[in-house]
Amino acid sequence: SRPLVIAVDGPAAAGKGTLAKALAAKLGLPYLDTGLLYRAVARRMVNADLDPAGDASAQAQALQPEDLARTDLRVPEIDRGASLVAAQPAVRAALLDRQRVFATQTGAVVDGRDIGTVVFPDADVKFFITASPRTRALRRHHQVHGEAPLVEADLEAAVAEIVARDSRDSSRDTAPLVQAADAVLIETDDLSAEQVLEKACEEVLRRQ
């Protein structure tokens, strides 16, 4: 039988990566973070002094494995840049095969925005992971700044950033962020990472 492909989609900082990594480890599957591809394209644009809102197709085609290993991909400038290059159909087209090749040989847990809808519409199990913008902004803050306290004005700015990025990802014409009809919805506001993993594992077992 063909290897298992599990799609994990949802908005920024909802807990997709945490779930996908843990699920991959548990199932002995490779993990693919597709957001890194768009981040690496945005990084190439910025480093070449190009505006990420401009045509990024050449940078997407030129992407190398070492671009994905850079340590400066998770900074606010690149959060924003990635969602700008990701809105370009030619960029998405250039990255599609890479994502499919990665998972087709071995199976994989793949996280992103369009995995269950576009990249792997036949995925064995699809999850849509979400949480309120406030929860997601708080989580992102703690990922970046650890236990440092967050003042209300900063939280509001972080919420606004996340809402702007979600709306850009959800309103684009090509592969918008949308829950696949057959995806299992998990709202993570009141769940620990362990509880989310537990729910997802139950669902995977049920499908097998």
82 in contact with ligand C5P (CB under 6 A): yes
Q: Please identify, using beta-carbon distances, which residue of 15 and 112 lies nearer to ligand C5P.
A: 112
Q: Which sign does the torsion angle of CA 165, 11, 100, 18 carry?
A: positive
> How far apart, in whole angstroms, are the C-alpha atoms of residue 65 and residue 67?
5
**Is 21 labelled as part of a ligand binding site?**
no
Query: What is the enclosing helix (H) or strand (E) of 53?
Result: none
**DSSP 8-state secondary structure symbol assigned to residue 67:** G
39 in contact with ligand C5P (CB under 6 A): yes
Residues from 132 through 161 that contact ligand C5P (CB under 6 A)? none
| Smallest gap from residue 187 Cβ to ligand C5P (A) | 18
81 in contact with ligand C5P (CB under 6 A): no
- Residues 91 and 60 sit within 8 Å (Cβ to Cβ): yes
Residues from 83 through 112 that contact ligand C5P (CB under 6 A)? 83, 86, 112
| Smallest gap from residue 99 Cβ to ligand C5P (A) | 8
Q: Which of 15, 35, 107, 116 binds ligand C5P (CB under 6 A)?
A: 35
> How far apart, in whole angstroms, are the C-alpha atoms of residue 131 and residue 15?
8
10 in contact with ligand C5P (CB under 6 A): no
**Is 108 labelled as part of a ligand binding site?**
no
- Residues 124 and 4 sit within 8 Å (Cβ to Cβ): yes
Q: Which of 43, 44, 113, 136 binds ligand C5P (CB under 6 A)?
A: 113
Any residues with CB less than 8 A from the CB of 9 and at least 6 apart, and which?
Answer: 16, 111, 112, 113, 114, 115, 116, 117, 126, 127, 128, 129, 177, 179, 180, 183
Q: Which of 44, 126, 136, 165 binds ligand C5P (CB under 6 A)?
A: 165
| Smallest gap from residue 171 Cβ to ligand C5P (A) | 11
Residues forming the annotated binding site?
10-18
